[in-house]
Amino acid sequence: MLARDQAKTFCERVLSRADGDEIEVIVGASESNALRMAESAPSEQNASTRVRCSIRVVRDGRHGRAEVESLGDAAIDRTIAAARAAAAATPVSSLPPFAGASTGDDGGQPEDAVRAVAGHAPAAKVAQVRGYLDRVRASGAVATGFYETKGESVTYANTAGCFRHAFQGRSWFSSTVLADDGAGVAHAGATGENLAPDRIDAAGQRALDKALSSRATRNIDPGDYRVLLEPIAVAELVMFVSWTGMSGRRLLDGASFLSGKIGERVLSEQLTIRDDAGDARFRSPRFDLEGQDRRAVTIVDAGIGKGVVWDRATALEGQTETTGHAMPQPCASGPEPDNVIMEAANGVESDMLARLGNGLLVTQFHYTNVIDPVPVTVTGMTRNGTFLVENGEIVGPVKNMRFTQSIIAALTNVDAVGDDSSLVDVFFGGTCLVPSLLLPAFRFTSATEF
């Protein structure tokens, strides 16, 4: 990681090589260490330090970008030369010029706290998981997983006078438990700036309890089922909605579930979705990769479509203002939400199983892919614990089910929102904050044999 003064000195060194061109520099520097688990025991420790510098050169309206994983002078000179060559080979762009200095808060987390997260020792991690792994071994089950802590600095600067710098730390714990040679399988995880021992232990215990409870699965017929989706399952669906429908580019192209529907009801009145880097549960950098202030954006408010996220290029096209969600420019896919929060608009439910009554409890989805991006129709499977519920009580595990479902249609009718909002890391990338959801109908198209 780079301290603020180190980052500023380095950026000044790069920008001094402008030689009449406009130059932008983005630097990401990270430190992490991880503990892996196999056969219910610590199996591997590793540490990683990485730096990546991305440089964009603009000459006569032509943009070129090149990247390097070094901050040495020779490497930077080669990278600028490569970016200039790329610019020379591209057509003139309509991208707006670089923006100058910002007075906004750079956000993120305190540097000393982030360095402490990054330096969380492997021995401390082993101590945190020991009790959980002991219980797994005592039960006869087998646990695998990982526990990683990471700190990173992100820096943006350009020749127009903009300089932004922030830190962010994150911890991840994930474990899968197999009981009776895989007859029962379950998964649980935890994410946050720091993970206290009790959070690690509780997550592991959930995985162990579900694995022991998910043996002797039964077959059920495919069809429409009332479902209770736990936060990890909800997160998978919400991130697909985010990727396919919450950006200015998708809205302008008519390819968003919000296209032509701003101000109309698009989801259940029970749901609000927003993107907010400044939320205390994220504390992410408050600037994007154009150096612009990252604003809080309400996407859906009590079911009503409100807006999307913008970068400067799409905002110019859409005759609006950037919300500070740019990716490195030029970027054909447009801006991206990065701190998505789904929350209840009209109160939460504490006993979701009782409210479910009869239906299915789904822990996680797996092997999910988009079929149709506008209604966000997704196909996939359940995974790591799916249970039949009758009269508000779990009566037994069922074999995994395949599904094909419009997520927008599913989220148009929501019976209840849980009081268990959790930060979840999604397999395809991204972190969101979501609760459990009770849906009156979810379509399962076929069964499996496992």
Contact criterion met (CB below 8 Å) for 391 and 357: yes
Residue 102 has pLDDT above 80, yes or no: yes
> What type of residue sits at position 420?
D
Residue 449 has pLDDT above 90, yes or no: no
Spatial distance between the Cα atoms of 109 and 284, rounded to a whole number of angstroms: 7
Contact criterion met (CB below 8 Å) for 338 and 426: no
Mean pLDDT of 82-88: 96
Spatial distance between the Cα atoms of 183 and 178, rounded to a whole number of angstroms: 7
Three-state SS for 219?
A: coil
Q: Cite the beta strand spans of 288-392 per DSSP E.
A: 297-301, 304-305, 340-344, 359-372, 377-390
Judged on CB neighbours under 10 Å (0-12, 13-18, 19+), 410 is buried
Q: Where are the alpha helices (DSSP H) in 358-412?
A: 407-412
Query: pLDDT: is 427 or 297 the higher one?
Result: 297
Spatial distance between the Cα atoms of 266 and 428, rounded to a whole number of angstroms: 25
Contact criterion met (CB below 8 Å) for 400 and 382: yes
pTM metric for this prediction: 0.94
Contact criterion met (CB below 8 Å) for 92 and 114: no
Residue 427 has pLDDT above 80, yes or no: no
User: Tell me, what's the pLDDT at 429?
Assistant: 72
User: Tell me, what's the pLDDT at 387?
Assistant: 96
> What type of residue sits at position 170?
R
Three-state SS for 147?
A: strand
Q: How confident is the model at residue 426 (pLDDT cuts 50, 70, 90)?
A: confident
Instruction: Report the Cα–Cα distance between both ends of the chain, in Å, rounded.
Output: 45
User: Tell me, what's the pLDDT at 20?
Assistant: 84
Can you tell me which residue has the tokens 């959980």?
A: 132
Spatial distance between the Cα atoms of 254 and 299, rounded to a whole number of angstroms: 16
Strands 163-179 and 142-158: antiparallel
Contact criterion met (CB below 8 Å) for 104 and 137: no
Greatest mean pLDDT among 17-21, 26-30, 363-367 lies in 26-30
Residue 444 has pLDDT above 80, yes or no: yes
Q: Which helix (H) or strand (E) element contains residue 154?
A: strand 142-158
User: Tell me, what's the pLDDT at 381?
Assistant: 96
Residue 17 has pLDDT above 80, yes or no: yes
User: Tell me, what's the pLDDT at 59?
Assistant: 94
Say how many C-beta atoms besides its own lie within 10 A of residue 270's C-beta. 21
Contact criterion met (CB below 8 Å) for 70 and 7: no
Spatial distance between the Cα atoms of 199 and 317, rounded to a whole number of angstroms: 46
- Give one DSSP letter per residue of 288-299, joined into a string: -TTS-B---EEE
State how far Cα 367 lies from the chain centre: 17
Q: Sign of dihedral through CA atoms 157, 326, 336, 332?
A: negative
Q: Give 220-269 pLDDT, tens digit per residue.
A: 999 999 999 999 999 999 999 999 999 999 999 999 999 999 999 999 99
CATH code given to domain 4-211: 3.30.2290.10
Q: Give 43-52 pLDDT, tens digit per residue.
A: 999 999 999 9
Contact criterion met (CB below 8 Å) for 373 and 384: no
Q: Give 125-179 pLDDT, tens digit per residue.
A: 999 999 999 999 999 999 999 999 999 999 999 999 999 999 999 999 999 999 9
Q: Give 349-391 pLDDT, tens digit per residue.
A: 999 999 999 999 999 999 999 999 999 999 999 999 999 999 9
User: Tell me, what's the pLDDT at 405?
Assistant: 97
Residues in the chain: 450
Say how many C-beta atoms besides its own lie within 10 A of residue 123's C-beta. 11
Per-residue DSSP letter, 347:
-
The CA-based dihedral angle spanning residues 200, 207, 377, 219, taken in that order and rounded to the nearest 10 degrees: 180
- Give one DSSP letter per residue of 69-91, joined into a string: S--SHHHHHHHHHHHHHHHHTS-
Mean pLDDT of the chain: 95
Spatial distance between the Cα atoms of 47 and 37, rounded to a whole number of angstroms: 15
Q: Cite the beta strand spans of 159-251 per DSSP E.
A: 163-179, 184-192, 223-229
Spatial distance between the Cα atoms of 386 and 450, rounded to a whole number of angstroms: 11
Query: pLDDT: is 448 or 132 the higher one?
Result: 132
323: left (phi over 0), alpha (psi -120 to 50) or beta: alpha
Share of residues in the chain with pLDDT > 90 (%): 94
Q: Give 184-207 pLDDT, tens digit per residue.
A: 999 999 999 989 999 999 999 999
Contact criterion met (CB below 8 Å) for 53 and 24: no
Share of residues in the chain with pLDDT > 70 (%): 100
Contact criterion met (CB below 8 Å) for 432 and 235: yes
Mean pLDDT of 321-340: 96
Three-state SS for 393?
A: strand
Could you tell me the residue ranges of all domains in the chain? 4-211, 217-450
